[in-house]
Structure formats: C-alpha cells, structure tokens
C-alpha cells in the first residue's frame, strides 16, 4: 500500500509518533509527505530530519501551506527547537505548488491520503484542481461528531485543532471529498505513557528522539497532572494522546477493538467554528466510534520499537 502523509509535524509530538509507526509498518510505502501550517519550511525540515533518522531519506517532502496565510485562526507557533531537537534543523521551504503537485500525483495514483493536521493543503488543491478530492482515498484525523465519553477530558469542538485551526478549509474538504473520519473523541482515548520512555530510549534513533520530545512535552503541558491523575480512563502517567498514530493505524487496516459506523453527518460553520452533528439529512460518512486505548498503546509501542 502507498501512503501520502499530510502532516503538521513539529508541534504536538503525536505527529512524530505517527511517522515512526508508518516507517515500521510492513508493506507500506510512503509515497510523499507534505506539511501544513508550516513556518517557512521549518516543519518540512523536521520531517526530512526524522526520515533521515529512520533511514528513509529518499521519500519526497514538500512544504505546503504556510502559517502566515490568513486562513488560520491564529499563527500556529512551534515549540522551542533547542529543547525538542538535538541540533539546529535546516528549514526546507518551497513553493506551495510543489506540495499540491505531490498531493495530486498521489491522488491520481490511488494512494491513501492521510491528513493529520489542518486541511489547508487539501482545500487549496481542490480550489486549484476542482474535482480532485472527489477521487481521493482520504482518511482524516479530526472531528467531534459525538460527545467525549466519561473518564476522558470533556473537551468540546473548540479543542479540535485539525478542523478548527482552518475551519473554512475543513468545511470545503468535508463537502467535496468522501473522507473516512477518525474523530478527536476517539483518538483522545489513546495515550503515550511515561512508562513507555525507557523502551523508546533503547530502540532506534527516531524512537530516542520521541522519548526526548516526550520529556519536553510533559514538562510543557503537564498532562500527567491535568489528565492522567484526574481522568479515570487514562493511565496516571499519561504524557500525551496518540491522535495521529491511531488515525494512521486504522487507515492502514488495524482493527483490534475498533468499531466503525456509517453516520449521516451535517458539517457547518457557526460563529467561525466548524460544528458537526448527526442528522438523517446529513452526508453518509464512515466514522470510527470506538477504540480500545490500551490495545492500541501496546500495539504502537511494540511496532515502533520492534
């Protein structure tokens, strides 16, 4: 299977966790990676650095939509590079059309397109090449179609970064494409634990980088205190949610403890926020509705460190 990853790697560390997993997945070929919410090619540079650590330097990488575009709710800033990366990482900027060309080529070739950040690149491609998204085999991480279950942080739609950071692009993509959704309400039932870090440190260079970034992330976001010790559904040493790794795994066929339903969904913008609800008049949409977080945590760690 060929996979095109459209990512905002460089912020939340789950993007790096997803890339590490995809690089280890048997039978999967990464055809290309494009970045969104980039900062003059900084995220693309991070992707290139991570691929080199994984021994995959030949995969095409292109910087996509820049964070300076006026479509974003606010400027998506990056964490302190000196704390999250072992050395200065050269940026790899490029024209937006190079990223859109890679996306179009992947869609034309029938590759699986996996969106794990803002949907800006996909929307820009549809505007440049109308009808292209209708043909896309597309899986998106994001959405809040149903409430968060008890035992997990009771977040609402405003916390859905991927759809809300550029809500107009998200609305366009949902209207023009036929995406498979792995919503935030499911992905936040997964976790990266502090107990995982020793195993990561004993694995390869990319896994060691994940451990380094996890330490910095834990210090910056204090999820162990905020969520691990207050939410009964999470381990007490939870460092982060594995949003993007779960979306990647399900898109690639992992289904242990997973339930998927086709649900009629209406998506609309209300007061600048993208809102979703089930409605008989809505667009039939395949949505992941259930996950066994513990099973996925074990699967992810075994795959990336094995």
What's the pLDDT at 2? Answer: 97
For 39-78, how does the pLDDT look when each residue is reduced to its tens digit (9 = 90+)? 999 999 999 999 999 999 999 999 999 999 999 999 988 9
Dig out the tokens for 287 from the structure: 């949505």
Q: What residues have CB less than 8 Å from 33, skipping those under 6 apart?
A: 4, 5, 6, 7, 19, 47, 51, 59, 60, 61, 62
Q: What confidence category does residue 17 fall into, taking pLDDT thresholds of 50, 70 and 90? A: very high
For 144-197, how does the pLDDT look when each residue is reduced to its tens digit (9 = 90+)? 999 999 999 999 999 999 999 999 999 999 999 999 999 999 999 999 999 999
Q: What confidence category does residue 305 fall into, taking pLDDT thresholds of 50, 70 and 90? A: very high
Q: In whole angstroms, what separates CA 232 from the centre of its chain?
A: 25
Q: Directed axis angle between helix 120-128 and helix 167-176, to 10°?
A: 60
Contact criterion met (CB below 8 Å) for 177 and 170: no
Using CA atoms, how far apart are residues 78 and 290, in angstroms rounded to an integer? 31
What's the pLDDT at 83? Answer: 96
What's the pLDDT at 108? Answer: 97
Using CA atoms, how far apart are residues 7 and 18, in angstroms rounded to an integer? 10
Ordered by where they begin, the domains of the chain are 2-305 (3.90.245.10)
Closest Cα to residue 96, out of 71, 120, 131? 120
Using CA atoms, how far apart are residues 228 and 193, in angstroms rounded to an integer? 9
For 203-251, how does the pLDDT look when each residue is reduced to its tens digit (9 = 90+)? 999 999 999 999 999 999 999 999 999 999 999 999 999 999 999 999 9
Q: Which residue has the tokens 């990512």?
A: 7
What's the pLDDT at 62? Answer: 98
Dig out the tokens for 179 from the structure: 């995406």
């Amino acid at each position: 299977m060929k996979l095109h990853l459209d990512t905002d790697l460089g912020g939340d560390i789950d993007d790096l966790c997803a890339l590490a997993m995809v690089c280890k997945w048997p039978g999967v070929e990464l055809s290309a990676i494009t970045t969104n919410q980039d900062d003059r090619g900084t995220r693309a540079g991070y992707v290139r650095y991570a691929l080199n650590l994984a021994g995959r330097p030949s995969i095409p990488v292109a910087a996509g939509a820049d964070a300076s575009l006026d479509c974003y709710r606010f400027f998506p800033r990056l964490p302190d590079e000196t704390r999250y990366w072992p050395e200065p990482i050269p940026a790899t900027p490029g024209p937006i059309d190079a990223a859109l060309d890679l996306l179009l080529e992947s869609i034309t070739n029938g590759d699986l397109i996996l969106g794990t950040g803002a949907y800006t690149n996909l929307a820009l491609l549809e505007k440049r090449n109308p009808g292209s998204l209708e043909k896309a085999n597309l899986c998106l991480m994001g959405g809040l179609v149903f409430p968060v279950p008890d035992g997990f942080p009771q977040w609402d739609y405003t916390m859905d970064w991927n759809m809300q950071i550029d809500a107009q692009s998200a609305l366009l993509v949902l209207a023009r494409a036929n995406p498979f959704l792995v919503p935030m309400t499911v992905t936040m039932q997964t976790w990266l634990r502090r107990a995982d870090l020793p195993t990561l440190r004993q694995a390869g260079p990319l896994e060691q980088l994940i451990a380094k970034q996890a330490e910095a992330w834990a210090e910056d976001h204090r999820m162990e205190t905020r969520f691990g010790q207050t939410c009964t559904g999470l381990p007490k040493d939870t460092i982060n949610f594995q949003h993007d790794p779960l979306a990647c795994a399900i898109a690639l066929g992992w289904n242990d403890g997973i339930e998927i339903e086709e649900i009629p969904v209406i998506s609309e913008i209300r007061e600048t926020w993208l809102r979703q609800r089930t409605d008989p008049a809505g667009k039939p949409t395949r949505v992941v509705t259930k996950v066994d977080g513990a099973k996925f945590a074990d699967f992810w760690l075994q795959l990336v460190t094995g």
